[in-house]
Chains A and B, each alone.
Chain A
Amino acid sequence: MRKLFIPNDTSAVAMGSNLVANRFEELIKNKSLDIQIIRNGSRGMFWLEPLVEFESDFKRFGFQSVDLSEVESILEFICDDSFDAALNKHPKFLGETESIEYFKKQQRLSFFRSGLGDPLCIDHYSSLEGFTGLKKALEMQPQQIVDEVKNSGLRGRGGAAFPTGIKWQTVLDTAHSKKYIVCNADEGDSGTFADRLLMESDPYQLIEGMIIAGLAVNANQGYIYLRSEYPFAHATLNTAISRCYAEGILGQNVLGKKICFELEVRLGAGAYICGEETSLLESLEGKRGLVRSKPPLPAIEGLFGCPTVVNNVLTLGAISTILCKGSDYYKNYGTGRSRGTLPVQLSGNIKRGGLIEIPFGISLREIVEDFGGGTFSGNPVKAIQVGGPLGAFVDRDKWDTPMDYEAFSAINSMIGHGGIVVFDDQINMFDQARFAMEFCAIESCGKCTPCRIGSTRGLEVLDKISSKKDVEDNLILLEELCDTMEHSSLCAMGGMTPFPVKSAVELYKEDFT
């Protein structure tokens, strides 16, 4: 039996992989060919989707951007006995998938399983070191698990980069009859899709990480708070969770031990602010997603007032790797205080957009030019926004800055969740600054004045600037308004909206005057 891999993932399907899969299935049936179709996850090289792979001699060969009209010719090529020689002649043939430079240059820890097989197959997951970390954790004391996480140097991958081990220690040390593990899967930042890819292509990794977190802090209830904009991830997670219950991985006796861990997915309802952890907790409790004042920290008084670990999808996913391979292995990747790997998400006007997992320390320029291959349109790059809608546009002179948390904060920027959005020279930066304020006005939870009123005032001031009304005075007013929002907002929404606005004014003044 020969195997054909056709990705089943939001982006692959959006690029037409379901239609391609149906056509393959039809032809294989009609011709009675001995070929099995496996719907794998995506490898994250989204510009190649639908990326159809064929396995031969335990190697995988790819065909890129497969169109319905090419299905028949691809089948003919792979059925040819001398296919090695013949394949090279197919216009969409890529060669060995893992030899593609874009893929070969990466170091995949969190995403090493992504795209290899059926994401929902528990046997497939287990055959690739899946649940090894959990089995080890089941033999350890909670403090030992927390120590491993601390030693790994892992920092929260949602954007704030808080040391995970310290957060866990606080929850472990807070005595309470009920504790929670909450996964923040409200990946709302534009230009980010690493959480989505992990949930769709390797969901058991997240589930495993959450059970380990439960063991580490003595919590037996977990929730995945997922945004409603991810219908496919929702379906995948629900199936994965029900299979884990059926296999005794979740439930009253985790892997046959006297340990209970329950897990449920809860759907958000279209509110960007619910990615902020305290707003997320309010939402999980069934309330308006208003940001809470801190303290108390969620680690002490979180969901329903109980000590709660709130971690991002990638953070919890990394836990499985850390427990499986050891914290020293993980710590060996990275630079300075940024340890491990960074899943960069390259998108926008870019030739080769996708997920790039690499150790911290690579420069922005290498990502955009070497990996990305320049803009999709072929025009020069005008702006790069790093870290989502609240991230600054990075000055052209700073494109060689190594990507690590400290180096980026030193240039008044942030890595955040690792999203990089590229714009070509057709973009007007006034429009982008205005959008940042508009987005804040739409999505502000409304609890604090600087964010709620400031964003609307920001829009008004920008509109005055665009209608050429006292431009210089209004630019000063805009700057003062940004300072107020930055320093007196309750959370990052109002506090960081000024970053893209101020950097746009500073770097692209010609678009404002």
Chain B
Amino acid sequence: MEGPLLPVLHAVMARFSYIPKDAIPIIARKLNLSSAEVSGVISFYHDFKKEKVGRHKVQICRSEACQAMGSRELEVHAKKSLKVDFGESTNDDLIFLEPVYCLGNCACSPSVRIDNEIHARVTPSGFDKLISDLRSVNHHKTRNSR
């Protein structure tokens, strides 16, 4: 494979949801790179996390088309209702909140992405509904797995 570092890091992210510190020297050795080079790449890209984050990634689009439809208010509301800032996870480790710059759903803004699902025309109350649905699905999952 040519230029394998990004695909490798994506694969590690998919498995662990972050890049464990211990993985860096292993990746470096296998790809004949220095640990510094691997760390440099991890820190450059927003997708690669150095710390463990909440189970579900919730992204609020901050781009212009979403701002034109109220994403600034949505952002304030989301932070308040989840009691976290961007780049933080909720106390129960269920949700990691972060900004995103365009999801390509600009004609039906504001947009929110939850894991791999994109939601259109998200109002503050619509956001709360998405989050409560997410919590109830997880609640059932946890109970069933017990």
Partners in one complex: yes
- What is A's interface to B at a CB cutoff of 8 Å? 10-11, 13-15, 46-47, 49, 187-193, 195-196, 228-233, 266-272, 283-289, 304, 345-350, 353-355, 376, 385, 389, 419, 421-424, 427, 431-432, 435, 439, 443, 445
Chain A residues with CB under 8 A of B119: 14
**Contact yes or no, B69 A191, CB < 8 A:** no
Bound together, the chains give a CA A349 to CA B66 distance in angstroms of 8
A14: B residues at CB distance < 8 A: 105, 108, 111, 118-120
Do B106 and A419 touch (CB < 8 A)? Answer: yes
- Number of A-B residue pairs with CB-CB distance less than 8 Å in the complex they form: 156
B69 lies within 8 A of A270 (CB): no
Q: How far is the CB of A448 from chain B (nearest CB, A)?
A: 16
Q: Who on chain A is nearest to B103 by CB?
A: A229
Residues in B whose Cβ lies below 8 Å from that of A435: 62, 64, 67
Q: Write out the residue numbers on chain B whose beta carbons fall within 8 Å of the beta carbon of A195.
A: 104
B56 at the interface (CB under 8 A from A): no
Q: Name which residue of chain A comes closest to B99, CB basis.
A: A442
**27 sample A-B contacts, Cβ–Cβ < 8 Å, listed by A number:** A10-B103, A11-B104, A11-B107, A13-B118, A46-B107, A49-B108, A191-B65, A192-B104, A196-B104, A228-B10, A229-B100, A229-B104, A229-B113, A230-B104, A266-B7, A267-B10, A268-B6, A269-B10, A270-B45, A271-B44, A286-B41, A289-B44, A304-B3, A346-B107, A347-B68, A348-B106, A353-B108
**Interface contact B64-A190, CB-CB below 8 Å:** yes
Contact call A288/B41, Cβ cutoff below 8 A: yes
B145 sits at the interface (CB 8 A):
no
Report how many residues on chain B are interfacial, defined by Cβ distance under 8 Å.
Answer: 44
Q: Which residue of A lies closest to B106 (CB)?
A: A347
**A269-B106 contact, Cβ under 8 Å, with A188-B101, A348-B68:** no
- B146 interface residue, CB < 8 Å from A? no
* Most B Cβ at <10 Å: residue of A13, A14, A271, A288: A14
Instruction: Give bound CA distance, A207 to B68, whole Å.
Output: 35
- Whole-angstrom distance between the alpha carbons of A196 and B103 in the complex? 10
Q: Are A266 and B6 in contact (CB under 8 A)?
A: yes
Which single residue of chain A is at the shortest CB-CB distance from B41?
A288
